[in-house]
Amino acid sequence: MPSIGSNHFSLEPWTRLFTHPGFVNSLKATLVSGIGATLLSLSITFLLFAVSYQTRFWKLLNQTLAPLLAIPHAAFAIGFLFLVSPSGWILRLVSPDLTGFDIPPDWNITRDAWGFSLMLVLVLKEVPFLVLMSLGALGQLDVKRSLAIGRSLGYHRVLVWVKIILPQLYPRIRLSLFAILAYSLSVVDIAQIIGPTVPPTLAVQVFRWFNDPDLVSRLLGASGATLILLLVVGAIAILYLLELALRWLLKRQVTRGNRHFHVFFPNLLSKLFIITLVGTSLAAITVLLIWSFTWRWRFPDLFPGSWSLRFWGKGLMQVQDPIWNTVKTGITSSLLGVFLVIGCLENELRLQRAGKHTNTPTMLWLTYLPLLIPQIAFLFGVQVTLAAFRLDGHWPSLVWSHLLFVIPYVFLSLGPVYRSYDQRMTDVALTLCGSPWRVFYRIKLPMLLKPILFAFAIGFSVSVAQYLPTLFMGAGRFDTITTEAVNLASGSDRRIVAVYALCQLLTPLLIFLSALLIPRFVFRNRREMQG
Amino acid sequence: MLKLQAVQIIHNKEPLFPPLSIDIKPGEIASIMGPSGCGKSTLLSAISGNLADVFSLEGDVQLNDHSVLPLPMEKRRIGILFQDDLLFPHMSIAENLAFALPQALLKSERQEKIAEALKQAGLSDFEKRDPGTLSGGQRARVSLLRSLLAEPKALLLDEPFSKLDQELKDQIRTFVFDTVRRMNIPALLVSHDVRDCPEGQVINLAKQEG
């Protein structure tokens, strides 16, 4: 573990860390964007469920959920940057008519020092994830009937959510929430694109130290990474305490009996948020598209002055290798991931039926460990270990490192569905044909085709989005579309960056589309399989 | 008094059953029977105010001479009991019951009412218990108590006994009917088992005269 000085223990890297110029601001930005994003995402998710569940706006959210999740973080951040920055599309929309700007203003909207724009991007990406996880968890609660009972007792629908359903939901999404917390506090790729620049967030700073040719910085990086880990642990502890406090408060409130609720304001907020979420994502993609075809686009024109296919041409040529790497790694790690997870779940089933004890909670925590520990904190250590065995820089190591992160997400997405599969189907099928293998691949797998393909698509997009593992494990030898896109985003030509970002976007999108369309086609004549 | 006047539920422009008219006096328990899919549970959702969008209601439902149709579900003061007890698992028994009580009560009054209700159900001193530790019959009783503590003006029962085993059914049935009669509110019960129906009006939804 880091903290070992050149050849002996020393606190020196820590003192240098704390006295590094800009440390306090880095810390501030990290905490604001990290904890702020998590709490905000949670509140918004709860708001959405309590107020808009099953309304028309909900249907909009539901339909766009999968595509929203499929947009890789980096591409979204880049699109957001092109949208919201002082020379971005939104300002071009209102200039010069409303604002009188002829040249981009010198505002600090994106890349602001407190990390607010970073926080915003994180929230926009994390809410769909949290909604997805919550939907899975809600399947275990009888939402319809709980609502009916609560309302028949006189409580407004929203209050039934707040007092009855959400308290039961929270423990089930706790793990996902902690994963989001760890991610937000330690994200590097998005922070590089849209986070503060001088000083950057802690995670970015640590990353720079790790990449500094001056080897002494590695020690600084190690202590920084450990600090981030401690921050995550501390934040999780705070969330736990917060939960206890809120539960205590809720108990006191719940028995008071107040049933009335004015829905107008929260309703508006909730609708606004859904619109913003969907709208921003669409706008971000559109602006990327526009930039990729641009030749010349002066501020404050609404659209480019001249168009060109040149950058697509150039980009597609340059992007072939990275895309091939990305797809190769993605498909392999995702296939392996799905394979392993199904094996795990089947094994769990077998143990349960034999009445043996399955240590599911422990397994759960173990599987999710890579999500809870900030990547930057342990990847360096892993790389050092691998390098000692000369294993880094090989493609299998890269796949393995992606697998570490693909598995938890595949598990998260496939687990609930797999477990709620009606086992009686298997029982009946066994009595009919007697061969467990046949039952498995002729009955169970086809019935679960859609969730399995979906989990594969999620695994694939997780692999595509991996930035740090590719850099560390690949020892710089593998370029993926993500590493290229992030590297280009911090400077250069918006046009070529847009092409790269769109490529990063399209890759998982295609897989998601197939995941949606293949089952629909295969089962086109089966009504019950359309669910 | 609960009055249904020429009530019909429409789905895809077709009514599910012939128009239903029934008057239920306070303390009376009327039963609706019928084969699966004839619309019994949907009828209850319509009366309580929870009708799904794909259905529409024709006719009128009146409680104590006022139509409840313009009111949202939480204002109708009509209680509902399902097959599953649906006790809130994150709250104790007392908290589940307290949830049903009106806002205006003092803490001591609340505690008194809860204790009294539990005593009548034979569950004294169950206040602090976790619903997960109670037996099926005990949970069914608490569920009924909870609905009644809200002092509803009418009670709907959607196959409330179907998940209980045979011995329990008789016990709980008697408990429910006695309590409803004592509270003197009209009740409407839906079931596919004729033994669930007490003395009183029994209507077969599918076979009524139009």
Give per-residue pLDDT as tens, A427-437. 777 776 667 77
pLDDT at A68: 80
The CA distance from A376 to B155, in Å, is 59
pLDDT at A355: 67
When pLDDT is averaged across residues A489-499 and rounded to a whole number, the result is 77
When pLDDT is averaged across residues B153-163 and rounded to a whole number, the result is 87
**A99 pLDDT more than 70:** no
Residue B207 pLDDT level (bands cut at 50, 70, 90): low
Residue A461 pLDDT level (bands cut at 50, 70, 90): confident
**A153 interaction partners in chain B (CB closer than 8 Å):** 74, 79, 99-100, 146-147, 150
Cis peptide preceding A96, ω within 30 of 0: yes
Residues A119/A33, Cβ–Cβ less than 8 Å: yes
A517 touches chain B (CB under 8 A): no
pLDDT at B186: 92
B98 touches chain A (CB under 8 A): yes
Residue-wise pLDDT for B1-43, tens only, equals 888 888 888 888 888 888 888 899 898 889 888 777 778 888 8
Indicate which of B41, B63, B82, B91 best probes the interface with A, i.e. most A CBs within 10 Å of its own CB. Answer: B91
pLDDT at A6: 46
pLDDT at A335: 92
When pLDDT is averaged across residues B107-122 and rounded to a whole number, the result is 88
The CA distance from A342 to A334, in Å, is 12
Q: Find the closest chain B residue to A259 by CA distance.
A: B103
Residue A349 pLDDT level (bands cut at 50, 70, 90): confident
Q: Find the closest chain A residue to B44 by CA distance.
A: A148
**B95 interaction partners in chain A (CB closer than 8 Å):** 251, 254-255
Q: Which of A152, A164, A257 is closest, CB to CB, to B80?
A: A152
B99 touches chain A (CB under 8 A): yes
How do beta strands B202-204 and B29-33 pair? parallel
Indicate which of A53, A56, A149 best probes the interface with B, i.e. most B CBs within 10 Å of its own CB. Answer: A149
Least confident of A110-114, A405-409, A446-450: A110-114
Both tokens of A5, joined, read 């000085």
Q: What's the ipTM?
A: 0.71
Length of chain B: 210
Q: Which residues contact A186 (CB under 8 A, 6 or more apart)?
A: A34, A203, A228, A232, A374, A375, A376, A377
Least confident of A79-93, A368-382, A399-413: A368-382
When pLDDT is averaged across residues A322-328 and rounded to a whole number, the result is 84
Residue A392 pLDDT level (bands cut at 50, 70, 90): low
Residue A97 pLDDT level (bands cut at 50, 70, 90): low
Cβ–Cβ of A257/B102 closer than 8 Å?
A: yes
pLDDT at A223: 81
Q: Which residues contact A216 (CB under 8 A, 6 or more apart)?
A: none
Indicate which of B63, B83, B85, B88 best probes the interface with A, i.e. most A CBs within 10 Å of its own CB. Answer: B88
CB atoms within 10 A of CB A359: 11
When pLDDT is averaged across residues A86-102 and rounded to a whole number, the result is 70
- Of the two residues A368 and A33, the one the predictor is more confident about is A33
Q: Find the closest chain A residue to B83 by CA distance.
A: A145
Q: What is the pTM of this model?
A: 0.77
Task: Compute the Cα dihedral for A285, A288, A293, A294 and give only its sign.
Answer: positive
The segment with the largest mean pLDDT, out of A26-35, A99-108, A390-399, A520-529, is A26-35
A251 touches chain B (CB under 8 A): yes
pLDDT at A103: 67
- CB contact residues (below 8 A), chain A span 134-153, against chain B: 142, 145-146, 148-149, 151-153
Cis peptide preceding A199, ω within 30 of 0: yes
Both tokens of A516, joined, read 């949606």
Cβ–Cβ of A152/B79 closer than 8 Å?
A: yes
Q: Which of B79, B82, B103 is closest, CB to CB, to A256?
A: B103
pLDDT at A9: 58
Both tokens of B15, joined, read 């009514």
- Of A264, A54, A253, A50, nearest to A157 by C-alpha is A50
Q: Find the closest chain A residue to B90 by CA distance.
A: A168
Residue A2 pLDDT level (bands cut at 50, 70, 90): very low
- CB contact residues (below 8 A), chain B span 174-203, against chain A: none
Both tokens of A500, joined, read 């790269």
pLDDT at A4: 45
Q: Find the closest chain A residue to B156 by CA distance.
A: A152
Q: Which of A152, A167, A168 is closest, CB to CB, to B73?
A: A152
Q: Distance from B31 to chain A by nearest Cα, in Å?
A: 20
Residue-wise pLDDT for A242-288, tens only, equals 899 988 888 877 777 677 766 667 778 888 888 888 888 888 888 88
Q: Which of A146, A156, A259 is closest, CB to CB, to B103?
A: A259
The CA distance from B69 to B60, in Å, is 7
Residue B203 region, left (φ>0) first, then alpha (ψ -120 to 50), else beta? Answer: beta
The four Cα atoms A256, A257, A258, A259 give a dihedral, to 10 degrees, of 160
Residue-wise pLDDT for A189-210, tens only, equals 888 888 887 788 888 888 888 7
A259 touches chain B (CB under 8 A): yes
Indicate which of A252, A255, A258, A263 best probes the interface with B, i.e. most B CBs within 10 Å of its own CB. Answer: A255
**A160 pLDDT more than 80:** yes
Residue-wise pLDDT for A219-244, tens only, equals 777 788 888 888 888 888 998 998 99
**A53 interaction partners in chain B (CB closer than 8 Å):** none
A157 touches chain B (CB under 8 A): yes
When pLDDT is averaged across residues B50-58 and rounded to a whole number, the result is 84
Cis peptide preceding A469, ω within 30 of 0: no
